[in-house]
Structure 1
Amino acid sequence: MEMNTSSNSGNNNRGEYIVSDGVRLQDSCSYCKSAGRTSIFHGSWADSLTVDDYQDLLDRGWRRSGSVLYKPEMEKTCCPSYTIRLRASDFVPSKEQRRVSRRMQRFVDGALEVKKSVEAIEDPSICASACNEVSSLGPKETSSVLKKEKNMGDHITDYLSEQVNKVIWTCRESGQIPFSVQLPKASVKKVSQSKTKLLVEGAENLMYSSNIAFQIAATIRQAQSIAKDASQSAEDNPLSPKIISEKIAASLDQLVKINGLSIRACNGHINFYTAATQTSPNKDSHTATSSQESAIGRKGCSLRNSSVHPHGKRRRLEIHLKRSSFDPEEFALYRRYQINVHNDTPDDVSESSYRMFLVDTPLLPVQPSGDDRVPPCGFGSFHQQYVIDGHLVAVGVIDILPKCLSSKYFFWDPDFAYLSLGKYSALQEIGWVKENEVYCP
């Protein structure tokens, strides 16, 4: 199929683009891992395509994977996918998003240590034991130690959330939780001492908790209620929050070794307990001397092992925007990401599949024209590289179009998981759009 139309992005002729006839396809689903061909969509192969025409297709529900254009049959496919559209000029960051930005700034300033933070995350007992010892030598010292404890606590909750999500995926693969629904991400929160006093006996050691079982149960009920062939009532669903939390807690206890923390399900909640009672920094708290602070350091909460590193070396964060092309360093990072984060087998992550998915593009590049209609980088397909001190840590695959920035995929170095690079990249992309709205209002 060939079409010739006019352009409005930098030149007055869109030129020729070539797209093969579309077909209706059925395939296995990479989201719910269904055994049958339950993913239903229309697909076409594009040899070349202008950014204006792809923008029009995007606005009509089409997307691209490499040079393949596809549009899901939303009413029939097993896992409908919805594009998240955001008007960048109206965006206001949430508290969590601001926290991600501040964490990255601390990291760049040398206040967040890479290796030592990872070591602490791998052994949450470090903070469970050592961070109970809070210095009360003076307001300044106390504030410093409390800041260290807070930062370490953030890393531990991130780590626990990641482990819970991995176990949920394992439960789905084993059939304990149905594959047919898109489940929410788990979040583990630190439990304040004021709340633990209101709980049942034994809760004085409760440190962290997650309510993901309630969210999963609600998602399953909602999916059943809107399914056309759903005939069972809510009472027919055996997966109550209590049962789900018990399954997850049991799997966590078997599959994940978290030193210093025990895991139990309690009335639908997944709780993490310490062996010793948590103390608070009041007048009855333990007072740490300078020698005791050194001992704390050996356990993991001093500057040596904690996330706080006031006098650390500043780091250089660079974000490079380059046209889509194969880069061996990017492929090595992608391969490591897919294997470690998504549990792909090495055989599944080939160079050819990577090229087809994230390098190949039918979009005809538009070079900057010097006027106010094209941004300085031009239009087309790009890879946005995040480089820290010369080391590639993440790559965002994006299409820059006349009316939007389309974010296709993002992969990152698993060693930097605690920086929440996915969230950080989204904030950077929003910022880029705001800066370039003058060219594409």
Structure 2
Amino acid sequence: MKKSKMRSEASSSSNNSNRKGETVVGDCGTCRSSCGYCKSSGRTSITHGLWAYSVTVDDYQDLLDRGWRRSGSFLYKPDMERTCCPSYTIRLRASDFAPSKEQRRVSRRMQSVVYIPRFLDGTVDVEKKSVELIKDPSTSNCNKVSSSVENNSLSHNNEENNKEEEILQFLSGQIDNAVQLCIVRGQFLSGIQLPKASVKKVSQAKRKLLVEGMENLLYTSNIAFQLAATLNRAQLAEKDVQQIRVFGQSIEDTGPSPKIIAAKLASSLIQLAETSGLSIRACNGHLNFYSAMKQASLDEDVHIGTVSKESAKTCESKGGCLKNSSEHPQAKRHKLQIRLKRSSFDPQEFELYRRYQIKVHNDKPDQVTETSYRRFLVDSPLVFVPPSGDDTVPPCGFGSFHQQYLIDDRLVAVGVIDILPRCLSSKYLFWDPDYAFLSLGKYSALQEISWVKENQTHCPTLQYYYLGYYIHSCRKMRYKAAYHPSELLCPLRYQWVPYDIARPLLDRKPYVVLSDFASLQNESSPCISENVMGCQHDDIGQGDSNDVRMDYDYDDEMLDPESESDDDEPDTETSCQTVGVEDGDISNIVIRGQGTRVRYKDIQRVFGPIQRRSLESQLRKYMKVVGAELSERMVYALGSYL
């Protein structure tokens, strides 16, 4: 057979003849590594790996729909029955997305501190937004947020009667973030349940009872008193009973006082003061929020309650009122820009990534290198497809991209994404730790969902948002299911199953054949067989989500290829992995060797018996993990066999 004819036969299997390029992969076989999720001490993460020399966007889309992901140019798929943390591909139909109350709050929070001209695929779509954060309480429309947003699909028409509650919830969330920051800094005890903050509006009647000049006091919180009581109880509980009694009397509490706690929280809320224009001060243990329209006198003390001028002066002499170090007389408006660019190395992005990994994930500085960053988040095997001018490709094209988020021209976050024929696949996000209060992880996910919906007009097949892997046994990854209504990929039959159906089963076992369970929903028997459940360990658990979509960075040095013989093949009568898997003929696999593209059936005779047996065993495993259709469409790099 002539080489030209063979190449033509291989290329004819392409999913879309209008898109140039081909998929060429080398088989890495089964690999073991340490797990980035359960942090097990051994190499308990078991995957099948492929090294991708090039991948068309159509082939990678189909690989995603068979449970594959990529880390740079390394493609990997968990061995769901054997790996420590079974990982299910999770996706969301963008048009069906129903944002939760918390997700709407994150969007409003961002809109309250910035106006948003968005830069996407080289064009500018300016969404002008006027923001009036907190008005002077003497006006008729005090304490209301007014905004005007054009063409923002994430904005919701806020009822006037709900705006006050939204502000209170926002401020309460910011105080909770400040408490967590104090815990990280070691200022508060860790490992105990602390109360949540509650912020109240100061009524005009209350303001009239305060000292003169305090009319701009808007909100207050007494969280410092609750925290002081909780921390004191926790400290006493840690002491031995014999040590807390001296001559029959209890030792006085040595924990922080409400005044000290309020001062620490006010100090931690400097960033909020800078972005919102509020003045934040700690006064006699109360955390007070003032309108920036009219500044309070700094030598007067204010706390909530019926306070006379005389008691206020007494408090002043004792130094009860602590001023926040940052006050701004006027609310400052910030500009957010979102730019989409082709995946490439950017020194500014690398510096942000380095800070993020060290401060958020506690990586050692010598671990965060330019080489590892390039390999993880810059290198991509995807063949770029430029816009075609029709309704088959979005204006930015298909391929790998970095979506940059800039506030006042400062890079604060970067989302690494793949844009494919049927989805936007989110790979990783890193952000500036100084802007953690904006919940950039949640906000970027909302923006990516919005991007999919907006670009369906350019590319109707682009309908889904892929969030990577969902690991039910890792609490850190469960936040992905909050983007509702999501669905999980069955690891055996590659059917999509609603998360609400899958969750009860995943609560019992980490590995589940989801399609079997879904088919049982219409049956009357509540019994679920072990063949459906799979056999794995109990839920191992992890910490709470930190809003980071984290697909594990597979380091070449951590991968340990297994040496498997034919005797290691699972028993077809007992392994549920073989049930329902489509059959294929390895003789149709396209082989690359010495510059040629040929079907295996046309070259199998050139191998000796031992080589042929070894190669055919490898080809069968390869076909099993990628599927018969893809194995005949992609090019298999033969490596040392030719």
Change (3 A) 1:95 1:166: farther
2:55 paired with 1:49: yes
Structure 1 equivalent of residue 323 of structure 2? 299
Classify the secondary structure of the residue corresponding to 2:359: helix
Structure 1 equivalent of residue 29 of structure 2? 23
Q: CA deviation at 1:207?
A: 5.2
Structure 2 equivalent of residue 68 of structure 1? 74
Structure 2 equivalent of residue 102 of structure 1? 108
Deviations 1:282-312 (A, max 9, x none): 99544799x99x99996239xx54xxx7833
Residue 32 of structure 1: which of 28, 35, 38 is its match? 38
2:181 paired with 1:190: no
Structure 1 equivalent of residue 178 of structure 2? 159
Residue 389 of structure 2: which of 363, 370, 373 is its match? 370
2:437 paired with 1:440: no
Q: What is the rounded CA distance, in whole Å, between the counterparts of 1:209 and 1:24 in structure 2?
A: 54
Q: What is the rounded CA distance, in whole Å, between the counterparts of 1:318 and 1:297 in structure 2?
A: 39
Structure 2 equivalent of residue 215 of structure 1? none
Q: What is the rounded CA distance, in whole Å, between the counterparts of 1:91 and 1:69 in structure 2?
A: 29
Q: What is the rounded CA distance, in whole Å, between the counterparts of 2:14 and 2:229 in structure 1?
A: 55
Q: What TM-score, normalized by structure 2, do the two folds share?
A: 0.45
Q: What amino acid does structure 2 have at the position aligned with 1:4?
A: S
Structure 2 equivalent of residue 270 of structure 1? none
Deviations 1:332-382 (A, max 9, x none): 000000001100000110000000000000000000000000000000000
Change (3 A) 1:158 1:67: same
Change (3 A) 1:275 1:260: farther
Classify the secondary structure of the residue corresponding to 1:434: helix
Q: CA deviation at 1:437?
A: 1.2
Residue 393 of structure 1: which of 372, 391, 412 is its match? 412
* 8 Å CA contact 2:115, 2:336 repeated in 1: no
Q: What amino acid does structure 2 have at the position aligned with 1:206?
A: Q
Q: What amino acid does structure 1 have at the position aligned with 2:261?
A: G
Q: CA deviation at 1:15?
A: 3.5
Structure 2 equivalent of residue 4 of structure 1? 11
* 8 Å CA contact 2:48, 2:77 repeated in 1: yes
Residue 325 of structure 1: which of 338, 344, 360 is its match? 344
Q: CA deviation at 1:313?
A: 3.3
Deviations 1:213-261 (A, max 9, x none): xxxxxxxxxxxxxxxxxxxxxxxxxxxxxx9xx89xxxxx99xxx9417
Q: What amino acid does structure 2 have at the position aligned with 1:158?
A: N
Q: What is the rounded CA distance, in whole Å, between the counterparts of 1:287 and 1:331 in structure 2?
A: 56
Q: What amino acid does structure 2 have at the position aligned with 1:440?
A: P
| Matched residue count | 330
* 8 Å CA contact 1:25, 1:43 repeated in 2: yes
Structure 2 equivalent of residue 81 of structure 1? 87
5+ residue gaps, structure 1 = 111-134, 177-185, 194-202, 211-242, 248-252, 263-273
Pairwise CA RMSD: 4.5
Q: What amino acid does structure 2 have at the position aligned with 1:38?
A: T
Residue 358 of structure 1: which of 377, 380, 389 is its match? 377
* 8 Å CA contact 2:15, 2:59 repeated in 1: no
Deviations 1:19-55 (A, max 9, x none): 0024101111122222111111110100000000000
Q: What amino acid does structure 2 have at the position aligned with 1:300?
A: N
Q: CA deviation at 1:390?
A: 1.4
Deviations 1:370-409 (A, max 9, x none): 0000000000000000111211111000000000000000
Q: What is the rounded CA distance, in whole Å, between the counterparts of 2:11 and 2:174 in structure 1?
A: 54
Classify the secondary structure of the residue corresponding to 1:190: coil
Change (3 A) 1:376 1:276: closer
Q: What is the rounded CA distance, in whole Å, between the counterparts of 2:72 and 2:356 in structure 1?
A: 19
Deviations 1:40-85 (A, max 9, x none): 1110100000000000000000000000000011222112223221
Q: What amino acid does structure 2 have at the position aligned with 1:103?
A: R
* 8 Å CA contact 1:136, 1:288 repeated in 2: no
Q: CA deviation at 1:322?
A: 0.5
* 8 Å CA contact 1:385, 1:392 repeated in 2: yes
Q: What is the rounded CA distance, in whole Å, between the counterparts of 2:376 and 2:413 in structure 1?
A: 17
Quote the sequence identity (%): 55
Change (3 A) 1:341 1:351: same
Structure 1 equivalent of residue 431 of structure 2? 412
* 8 Å CA contact 2:224, 2:261 repeated in 1: no
* 8 Å CA contact 2:224, 2:285 repeated in 1: no
Q: What is the rounded CA distance, in whole Å, between the counterparts of 2:320 and 2:167 in structure 1?
A: 12
Q: CA deviation at 1:146?
A: 9.9
* 8 Å CA contact 1:361, 1:381 repeated in 2: yes
* 8 Å CA contact 1:46, 1:69 repeated in 2: yes
Q: What TM-score, normalized by structure 1, do the two folds share?
A: 0.63
Q: What is the rounded CA distance, in whole Å, between the counterparts of 1:298 and 1:187 in structure 2?
A: 23
5+ residue gaps, structure 2 = 1-6, 117-135, 146-163, 201-222, 239-253, 264-282, 289-301, 462-642
